[in-house]
Amino acid sequence: MSEPHVAIVGITGAVGQEMIQCLEKRDFPIKKLTLLASAKSAGKIFSFKGKEIPVQELTLDSFDDVDIALFSAGGSISKEFAPVAAKSGAVVIDNSSAFRMDPEVPLIIPEINPEATHSNKGIIANPNCTTTVTLMGLNPLHKEWQVRGIIASSYQAVSGSGAQGIEELKNQISAINEGSSVERKVYPHQIAYNVIPQVDTFLENGYTKEEMKIENEGRKILGNSTLKASVTCVRVPVYRSHSVSVTAQFASEPDVNKARELINAAPGVSVRDEPDSGIFPTPLDTTEQDECLVGRIRKDIVLENALSFWVVGDQVRKGAALNAVQIAELLV
């Protein structure tokens, strides 16, 4: 598969558009690019390497001769069309949660478990964006000291809710500045100048689906079936890039200086940690950037054998589109 025929399903969404940008930026070798979306988007034009490509309606016949299909159109579309694409001979890289916990489907972060890519049976899952950002900072430490459990709080940008989340924040800020009433459609509470400790729906155990993804997906990606994670996911009035505060407990005693060395040596992540000089990662530092950044690395003073750190990453880029394209690169 040296020059594949690639299809993007959900091209009109934020992640779909980021996918086409990543393919071009990374000079991905493509023989043909097919752009797919709903019937109402058919005919829209997107540019790729100087060529204008029209969007086609997604149908059951859309995957003839497609080698790699990048899906970012939601779980229901993935459940309906991903098996069809795989049966047609394509390898599906799916950004939804539809197949992540399927034992037959590899769940991949290329910097962590690339070897699992080639055990696919036609479908590969992209992890949740918060899981990806967290594990990019955690994995170099896990390889050295074996993580047992984490306590984490996320600070998740509104772009995690798609374009409508961004629009709601913008509209609410404008309304407040103009003295108008604030409308809520996407979030249960005002997001402008506020934080909301709910991302996704609540489960019987009191955690949300988003919070449990870090434990469930983390176990699969790290190959650590006993990993425990107590997580609180919070939506914040930031347009793009997620941040996560992590306390990780390990099987053996970690070292702060060694931790910095390990993270800096790992692909796709680097340390920005000089707090005395005001140097630590913020969402703006990673917006539209490929790397995740880690700072505030320190010994935890409550738990034994534990480190606390702060990790930030662009959830549209590394948390979704870039990770999918990197998986495609492993296939070619």
Q: Which two tokens stand for residue 147?
A: 């993580």
Block residue for tokens 């993804």: 213
Helix/strand/coil percentages in the chain, nearest 5: 35, 25, 40
pLDDT at residue 45, as a whole number: 97
The answer to whether the beta carbons of residues 48 and 73 sit under 8 Å apart is no
Strands 32-37 and 5-9: parallel
Residue of 22, 129, 233, 292 marked active site: 129
Query: Tens of pLDDT along 90-114?
Result: 999 999 999 999 999 999 999 999 9
Block residue for tokens 């399927």: 102
Query: Counting Cβ atoms within 10 Å, is residue 146 exposed (0-12), middle (13-18) or buried (19+)?
Result: middle
pLDDT at residue 48, as a whole number: 96
Q: Which two tokens stand for residue 162?
A: 């798609």
Percent of the chain past pLDDT 90, that is, above it, reads 98
Task: Tell me which residue of 14, 157, 122 sits closest to 72, measured CA to CA.
Answer: 14
Query: Tens of pLDDT along 131-170?
Result: 999 999 999 999 999 999 999 999 999 999 988 999 999 9
Q: Measured between alpha carbons, how far is residue 173 from residues 44, 158, 167 in Å?
A: 31, 13, 10
Residue 1 reports pLDDT greater than 80? no
| Position 279 confidence tier, pLDDT thresholds 50, 70, 90 | very high
- H-run or E-run covering 255: none
Strands 306-313 and 292-299: antiparallel
3-state per-residue secondary structure call for 51-114: EEEEEEECCCCCCCCCCEEEECCCHHHHHHHHHHHHHCCCEEEECCCCCCCCCCCCECCCCCCH
Q: Taking the CA atoms of the chain, what radius of gyration do you get in angstroms?
A: 20
Residue 210 reports pLDDT greater than 90? yes
- Strands (E) in the chain, as ranges, are 5-9, 32-37, 45-48, 51-57, 68-71, 91-94, 123-125, 147-156, 228-235, 242-250, 269-271, 292-299, 306-313
Query: Tens of pLDDT along 177-199?
Result: 999 999 999 999 999 999 999 99
* pTM above threshold 0.75: yes
pLDDT at residue 47, as a whole number: 96
pLDDT at residue 2, as a whole number: 80
pLDDT at residue 162, as a whole number: 86
Note the residue count of the chain.
Answer: 332
In sequence order, what are the beta bridge partners of 172?
none
Percent of the chain past pLDDT 70, that is, above it, reads 100
The answer to whether the beta carbons of residues 57 and 38 sit under 8 Å apart is yes
Q: Is the dihedral of CA 224, 148, 281, 231 positive or negative?
A: positive
Residue of 5, 22, 142, 242 marked active site: 242
Query: Domains in the chain, please, with CATH?
Result: 5-126+320-331 (3.40.50.720), 131-315 (3.30.360.10)
The answer to whether the beta carbons of residues 152 and 234 sit under 8 Å apart is no
pLDDT at residue 163, as a whole number: 85
pLDDT at residue 77, as a whole number: 97
* Averaged pLDDT of the chain: 97
Question: CA angle 314-85-75, nearest 5°?
Answer: 45
Cα of 23 vs its chain's centroid, Å? 17
Task: Clarify whether 129 is annotated catalytic.
Answer: yes
Q: Is the dihedral of CA 194, 72, 98, 31 positive or negative?
A: negative
CA–CA separation, 295 and 281 (whole Å): 6
Residue 40 reports pLDDT greater than 80? yes
